[in-house]
Amino acid sequence: MTSTTADVRNGRAPLLGLAALACAALAPATIVFSLKVLPGVVVLGGLILPLWTVSVVFVLLAAVVLGAALVTGARASRARNDTGSVGSAVSVLLVMATAIVMVATLLFVVIALFMGHLLSNNIGSKQFARLRPEGPCRVVAQYSTYLTSGTGTFFAVNDLGLGLESGHYDSDDGTLPFDDGNYTLTWNDDIATITYGGEENAAPHRETVHC
């Protein structure tokens, strides 16, 4: 490898390091955004996941780009026979910052999934249901119960499998109407009307979801 090629690669390594750090930073940003600003879901075939789990994709992407940065820097170093350029303070800080963000995000995901499993099995239930029939979009209900109360969120899922929050519901008897199939869904253009509940002479509830 010529010295010019080594210089190019040596200059490219920090840029790749910055790109890796940016990808890693997108992971916690996705978590905060989807939990606090705009909750959503991702539908992959028959699998329905909270939007914040997409953060794992950014962590994996950060790992790939970071690996490319390290390989590029190492090749440039060997060509120049100069380890100092690769082990510069900037490169080391980029690697450390990226690794810390990646590990922190993965720990959050693991703990969140574990705690979600504990809550699901010991306190109540929190799960997703794809409502039918489908129309201009798909409607997914996320519902949970605690003692004698129930609550949930409706998501309008587009063709790409991304569902954004589009409505809420509450139940005072702790039932799971979408788990039990105790609901009806009708379409009027791109508006879905969902009717549920109504047990023991109680009036049914109605909610609308816009695609």
Q: Are the C-beta atoms of residues 30 and 54 closer than 8 Å to each other? A: yes
Provide the pLDDT for residue 156: 93
CA-closest candidate to residue 70, choices 90, 84, 91, 89? 91
Q: Are the C-beta atoms of residues 69 and 20 closer than 8 Å to each other? A: yes
Provide the pLDDT for residue 198: 62
Provide the pLDDT for residue 169: 79
Provide the pLDDT for residue 127: 76
Q: For 187, left (φ over 0), alpha (ψ -120 to 50), or beta?
A: beta
pTM above threshold 0.75:
no
Reduce the DSSP state of residue 47 to 3 states and report it.
strand
What is the C-alpha to C-alpha distance for residues 156 and 187, in angstroms, rounded to an integer?
Answer: 13
Intra-chain end-to-end CA distance of the chain, in Å:
56
Per-residue CA distances from 199 to 116, 146, 147, 192, 196 (Å): 29, 19, 18, 22, 9
Q: What is the pLDDT tens value at each position of the chain, 211 positions in all?
A: 444 444 444 556 677 777 888 888 888 888 888 877 888 888 888 788 888 888 888 888 888 887 777 777 666 666 555 545 444 556 667 777 778 888 888 887 777 767 665 444 444 445 788 898 988 999 998 877 666 666 788 999 998 899 988 888 776 655 667 776 778 899 999 999 998 876 654 567 788 999 8
Provide the pLDDT for residue 186: 93
Burial string for 142-181 (b: 16+ CB within 10 Å, else e) reads bbbbeeeebebbbbbbeeeeebebbbebebeeebbbbeee
